[in-house]
């Protein structure tokens, strides 16, 4: 089921946003400025929040998914809490509506697969909101390592606790972004997982050091936590011919290359675009709906990354204690 959507032409796709908290209100804001789409309404059981967003952006506000679907939307983005993604996505798909669901695709692999199967049966587009792929710095890194023999990847994603804690820890909330990037950079599945997790302050893990090996033999590492007083998002990729370093916040990407036997090498800053990642992501969704082609981030990719994140939580060494204990104090 494809729509005549051309993001470069006038508004044609009627779209709604389900869940307009932190992320969904950004979806709604960006959608109002996109060619090829008309933001018809937002749905959120928090009526004050829905009304606020709707008034600001000039669209309808409703409290329930069915009411939004009654506004005859062609597509929705789902930014409700993750444990609701499955039910909401299935309700939309059952009405023939295209869905972009925030990351992680669902609470479990089984739920994610249900969404994929339903979308396939209904012939609607399903995309997962792994927005970091659309960060221009990430795109520059991906370009820099194209056709390179990748050896290792290290990603740091740290910061303070979010103002409102959801019921997931850093692995599902943060590391899933980087698991997706590792799979995407390497075009390969993760086959080995060595997680170390700790709960220093929160009930769920708030520190994670995760090591992986991909089917293609790349070693990868994620360092993530909610205990760093400032946000940092850094990626380094070592290939046989290059060392690429990217700061995803400042969007500076640098590569070292031309390694010489005497230890010298060349270095250059790569050109990085300025586009807002969420805008690029939502445009990619509109294009996939319009063309009927595969989404930029498919449901299957969303499930694959979630599956690895869940393995990190379930395959911890039996001897490891997730709870920290007081440090040993040397006598004397
Ligand atoms: N891609 C990213 O970088 C990114 C960043 C933040 C959050 N997220 C994802 O977005 C989703 C929402 O996270 P958030 O931080 O915006 O949460 P949030 O709590 O700020 O917002 C969630 C909103 O959903 C509403 N809601 C609750 N039940 C609902 C229902 N049945 N129908 C419609 N709306 C409902 C809540 O009232 C709230 O306004 C999560 O899946 C999260 O993982 C992704």
Q: What is the pLDDT of residues 93-104, one digit of tens each?
A: 999 999 999 999
Q: What is the pLDDT of residue 3?
A: 45
Q: What is the pLDDT of residue 113?
A: 98
Residues in the chain: 332
The first and second tokens of residue 64, run together, are 């329930």
Asked if residue 104 has a cis previous peptide bond (ω within 30° of 0), the answer is yes
Candidates 53, 79, 161, 226: which one to mutate for ligand 1, based on the most atoms within 8 Å of Cβ? 79
Using the mean position of ligand 1's atoms as its centre, give its distance from the Cα of residue 261 in Å: 52
Ligand 1 atom with the shortest distance to the CA of 104 = 43
Using the mean position of ligand 1's atoms as its centre, give its distance from the Cα of residue 196 in Å: 27
- 0.85 surpassed by pTM: yes
**176-186 and 136-144 are packed helices; what angle lies between their axes, rounded to 10 degrees?**
30
Phi first, then psi, for residue 295 (nearest 5°) are -70, 155
Ligand 1 atom with the shortest distance to the CA of 85 = 41
Using the mean position of ligand 1's atoms as its centre, give its distance from the Cα of residue 64 in Å: 14
Q: What is the pLDDT of residues 87-126, one digit of tens each?
A: 999 999 999 999 999 999 999 999 999 999 999 999 999 9
Question: What is the residue whose two structure tokens read 């950079």?
Answer: 185
Q: What is the pLDDT of residue 223?
A: 98
Q: What is the pLDDT of residue 319?
A: 47
Question: What is the residue whose two structure tokens read 């050896």?
Answer: 151
| Residues with pLDDT less than 70, the chain | 1-11, 316-332
Asked if residue 25 has a cis previous peptide bond (ω within 30° of 0), the answer is no
CB-defined site of ligand 1, < 6 Å: 18-24, 43-46, 49, 65, 79-82, 84, 102-103, 129, 131
Q: In what order do the strands lie in the sheet with 98-102?
A: 60-62, 37-43, 13-18, 75-78, 98-102, 126-129
């Amino acid at each position: 089921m494809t729509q005549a959507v051309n993001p470069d032409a006038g508004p044609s796709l009627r779209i709604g946003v389900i869940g307009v908290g932190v992320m969904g209100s950004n979806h709604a804001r960006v959608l109002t400025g996109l060619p090829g789409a008309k933001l018809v309404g937002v749905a959120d059981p928090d009526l004050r929040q829905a009304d606020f967003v709707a008034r600001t952006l000039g669209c309808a506000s409703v409290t329930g998914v069915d009411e939004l679907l009654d506004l005859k939307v062609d597509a929705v983005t789902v930014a409700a809490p993750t444990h609701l993604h499955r039910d909401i996505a299935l309700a939309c798909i059952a009405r023939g509506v295209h869905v972009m669901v925030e990351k992680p695709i669902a609470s479990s692999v089984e739920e994610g697969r249900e969404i994929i199967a339903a979308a396939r049966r209904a012939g609607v587009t399903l995309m997962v909101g792994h927005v970091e792929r659309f960060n221009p710095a990430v795109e520059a890194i991906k370009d820099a390592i194209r056709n390179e023999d990748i050896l290792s990847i290290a990603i740091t994603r740290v910061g303070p606790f979010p103002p409102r804690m959801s019921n997931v820890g850093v692995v599902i909330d943060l590391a899933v972004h980087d698991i997706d990037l590792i799979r995407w950079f390497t075009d390969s599945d993760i086959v080995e997982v060595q997680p170390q997790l700790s709960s220093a302050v929160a009930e769920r893990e708030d520190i994670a050091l995760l090591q992986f090996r991909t089917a293609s033999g790349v070693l990868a590492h994620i360092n993530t936590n909610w205990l760093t007083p400032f946000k940092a998002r850094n990626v380094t990729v070592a290939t046989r011919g290059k060392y690429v370093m990217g700061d995803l916040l400042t969007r500076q990407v640098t590569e070292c290359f031309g390694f010489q036997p005497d230890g010298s090498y060349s270095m250059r800053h790569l050109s990085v675009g300025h586009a807002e990642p969420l805008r690029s992501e939502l445009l990619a969704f509109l294009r996939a709906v319009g063309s009927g082609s595969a989404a930029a981030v498919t449901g299957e990719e969303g499930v694959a990354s979630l599956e690895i994140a869940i393995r990190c939580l379930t395959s911890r060494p039996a001897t490891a204690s997730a709870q920290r204990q007081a440090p040993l104090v040397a006598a004397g």
